Amino acid sequence: MAFDYSTVFRPGLPPAAARWSGFPKYNFVGGHNDGAAVPVQDFIDAAAAVLNREGSTLATHSLESGSQGYLPLREFLAEYLNKSTGMTDTADDILLVSGSLQALDLVNDVLLSDGDTVVLEEAAYQGAIQRFNRLGVRGIGAPLDDGGIRMDTLSNILDDLKKDGIKPKYLYAVPTVQNPTGTVMSEERRLEFLNLARKFDVPIFEDDCYADLTFDGSRPRAIRALDDDGRVIFCGTFSKTIAPALRVGYLVAEWDILSRMLAVKRDGGSGALEQMVLGEYCPDHFEDHVTKLRGVLKGKCDAMMETLAAEFGTTAEVEAPVGGIFVWVTLPDSVDTMKLFEIASAEGVAINPGAEWVVDPATGTHKMRLCFGNPTVEEIREGVTKLAEICHREFGVPERGSNIER
């Protein structure tokens, strides 16, 4: 008889994960990207070059670069971020981490306690929402429009909290290609956001994971670039631009907070080989790679939008994103996307139900996030068509009639 571990599990443990049984035929979930776009041969060449030159440094946890991560990669990031985002940071202001999720965990570890409050977008990154819930942190959702967080309502939220004697620990936002809505906050609004943070004396956590993937290559300056008092903690990742399985992300902040993060970073250092390969590859290849990837993703996004229009017609409300790997779809109130998720999964179509991507689950019951980064254009067209058939069969949506373009 097997030992009963339920007698020793800690209280509040999240539900057990299901054993992986392979990807569905039509996989519209997760932060996956285009497999053919991974620069495999360049990685082979970079790995051989850097290992031949510096392989002996693997004998140390820090690759002889210090606890903040491989120095050549941090130097590349400092130069690239200063050029692309307007920031003026150096390699000393960067901490390499195991993907953006570890970045979020480190920020939470040094700033949050049970009972604290964070203000974030009302539709927000699922991983952030889950972590706040597990930590016993109150997340307050600020309404969004086509330019990101509405500053008038954010101001009202902060005013109300102040009246109640509550100061949020930080404001969380994905200002460029917002997850899941795909919006981009203008520079004017970024300045308003920063001014509100100053007025109420709270920091900002700027999650910039998708900003390199705007289809036209343009983006406003980072909020951190507009900040002159070290109030903004900036997060980025190579998961979306190169490969999610590499698990290499980065934080940019002042030493006062980076030093605290290092003290609670319990992994002995993020993956060394990945850092070395990226440090070798990126200076000569990163920008060209991202330019090509934008074109690939734009083609997939177009296929997703065209097929949604053809199969769902006007019953699916969706704004074409300006970049990234996902679309945010609003269906009629009669559609329960959690139920749709369960039925579609059984038939080989995976979607993200909207209730998991909003602060108040009740507001997302008829919404869904569809990721187009990994499937082929053919799979996108077939999968969305099948999803529409399931949705019609189960909910009567879309109505098969004149509103469907074919």
268-297 pLDDT tens trace: 888 899 999 999 999 999 999 999 999 999
Percent of the chain with pLDDT over 70: 98
What one-letter code names the amino acid at 197? A
**Mean pLDDT along residues 107-112:** 97
Look at residue 382 and tell me whether its pLDDT is greater than 90: yes
Task: For residues 57 and 272, give the distance between their C-alpha atoms in angstroms, rounded to a whole number.
Answer: 10
Which pLDDT does position 211 carry in this prediction? 96
What one-letter code names the amino acid at 157? I
Are residues 238 and 309 part of one domain? no
Task: For residues 384 and 368, give the distance between their C-alpha atoms in angstroms, rounded to a whole number.
Answer: 12
Are residues 153 and 219 part of one domain? yes
Classify residue 164: in a domain, yes or no. yes
pLDDT tens digits for range 215-243: 999 999 999 999 999 999 999 999 999 99
For the chain, give the mean pLDDT. Answer: 95
Are residues 168 and 306 part of one domain? no
Range of the domain at 318: 22-38+288-395
Rg (CA), the chain: 22
DSSP string covering 51-72, please? Answer: HHHHGGGGGSTTTTS-TT--HH
Among 259, 285, 311, residue at a domain's last position = 285
Q: Which two tokens stand for residue 238?
A: 């190579």
Task: For residues 247 and 78, give the distance between their C-alpha atoms in angstroms, rounded to a whole number.
Answer: 19
Which pLDDT does position 266 carry in this prediction? 85
* Among 75-79, 340-344, 398-402, the least confident range: 398-402
Classify residue 53: in a domain, yes or no. yes
User: What's the total number of domains in the chain?
Assistant: 2
Task: For residues 223 and 204, give the distance between their C-alpha atoms in angstroms, rounded to a whole number.
Answer: 9
Look at residue 24 and tell me whether its pLDDT is greater than 80: yes
Are residues 301 and 259 part of one domain? no
Which pLDDT does position 11 carry in this prediction? 86
* CATH number of the domain encompassing residue 309: 3.90.1150.10
Contact partners, residue 221, CB within 8 Å, separation at least 6: 85, 86, 187, 190
Classify residue 257: in a domain, yes or no. yes
Q: What is the pTM of this model?
A: 0.94
* Among 106-110, 115-119, 166-170, 267-271, the least confident range: 267-271
Which pLDDT does position 401 carry in this prediction? 58
* CATH number of the domain encompassing residue 196: 3.40.640.10
**Mean pLDDT along residues 110-131:** 96
Classify residue 111: in a domain, yes or no. yes
Among 258, 285, 312, residue at a domain's last position = 285
Are residues 306 and 336 part of one domain? yes
* Among 62-66, 117-121, 170-174, the least confident range: 62-66
Q: CB atoms < 10 A from the CB of 21, how many?
A: 6
Classify residue 6: in a domain, yes or no. no
Residues linked to residue 367 through DSSP beta bridges, in sequence order: 330
Are residues 177 and 84 part of one domain? yes
Tell how far CA 153 is from the center of its chain.
24
Among 285, 310, 334, residue at a domain's last position = 285
Q: Which two tokens stand for residue 111?
A: 């700033």
Contact partners, residue 231, CB within 8 Å, separation at least 6: 194, 197, 198, 203, 204
Which pLDDT does position 294 carry in this prediction? 97
Task: For residues 45 and 75, give the distance between their C-alpha atoms in angstroms, rounded to a whole number.
Answer: 20
Classify residue 54: in a domain, yes or no. yes
**Mean pLDDT along residues 254-264:** 96
**Mean pLDDT along residues 311-318:** 95
Which pLDDT does position 12 carry in this prediction? 81
